Chain A
Amino acid sequence: MPSPVKPHPRTPWQEFWYRFRKNKLAVVGMGVILLYVSIALFADFFYSWDFVVGNQIPNAFATVGTKAVVELGGKKVEHLYILGADNFGRDVLGRMIHGARVSMIIGFITIAFAVLVGGSLGAIAGFYGGVLETIIMRGADILLAIPNMLFALAIVAAMGPSFQNLLLAIGITSVPIYVRLVRASVLTVKDQEFVEAARALGARDGRIIVRHVLPNCMAPVIVQATLGIAQSILSATFLSFLGLGIQPPAPEWGNMLSEARPYIISAPHTLIFPGLAIMTVILAYNLIGDGLRDALDPKLRR
């Protein structure tokens, strides 16, 4: 028989990577995120936690590149303030690096929660239909009708500002998007013949949903999740900016902005750098999201 297969058959992953790679901006975005994630992972390696939360009053508002003596663990050492110091003399770069940790974690955990909960509900609603679908979808509609930030604010205000409550608030507000998205995809996939074939083979509903329906619904969810991470990070910085998220002295980009606000004219570096960090991370996630959308869109496939 003549060879029916291309000499190097690609797995779906290779196929995806081949197309994703063509979008240079998305690759740059991915590079930026990888950089942020690794910095966040090794934050303690660059600056110790005690140092970034401890006051160094004599060095308050040290400008970019200042060399100064700091107290660290009872000893006096010389330290280079690469991006300057804030109103308490704390290293801005150090605080940004430890703040990255919070932002990355919030982005991943809230969206993982939302995809898991929203995805399961959406899959059940789409697959089974009927009363169950009506209940789930109307619930999602109600959540969607409340402005996201207002709802998150309400949750945090009611339960008190803490890291867990911040995660919960942002996570819950992200859920309904995934309910709708997954339900819509499930509706288009569940009537295809391979799903009927699985049923004819005696597969149970759980297996049909997990093995046959959901894997064919993932593309829009992955795109939305990437854009959602950006939204979550932004929400978290916003809540922290308002004093409802991460509490000082723990560093977070939003509360760094909040603390720097009065000094925007006298010490702009305390505000500009955290602001830039937020901007680049959101931009990077959005670029990746756009790249993923193009790479996963079956209509653009050749």
Chain B
Amino acid sequence: MERRKFIQSMFSASAVAVVATPMGAFAKEEKKASKKGPNDMSFDDAVKAITDGKEVKDSDKVKLSVPEIAENGAVVPVKVNVDHPMEEKNYVKAIHVLNTANGNARCADIMLTSANAEGYFATRIKLSKTQEVVALVELSDGSFIKSAKSVKVTIGGCG
């Protein structure tokens, strides 16, 4: 009697376990999906949203300085210098700092005016893994130029 009960309980327990494992796996998957950030955007979408389909040229005028190897992905210094006059009608309109592999490709959009006198911007950004940082510059005549550099990230900084 005792033995039969014991075996029965064993069976029911294993049945529960069998049912529970796929449920657990499912729950895990759901969690992974919810790891998406609130305003994720791919790099191509971000570029399209900024340029509206216009051509973007690579240019030496944009000087992007980032470290080649970033030990800590949570703090990556980025500096953008645009070699372009800042006159009243001919100036750097905006600098967009983008990345290629984070959940949200946009880091910061900076709208400059002629009062800035120099197309310069510096900040620190987070990078999740080894990827490229892109500085996309909009000039006041509506044309776009860019510069990209890859950064090796040892420890990702996006949580």
The judgment on whether A and B are partners is no
CB within 8 Å of B: which residues of A?
none
Q: Which residues of B are at the interface with A, using a C-beta cutoff of 8 A? A: none
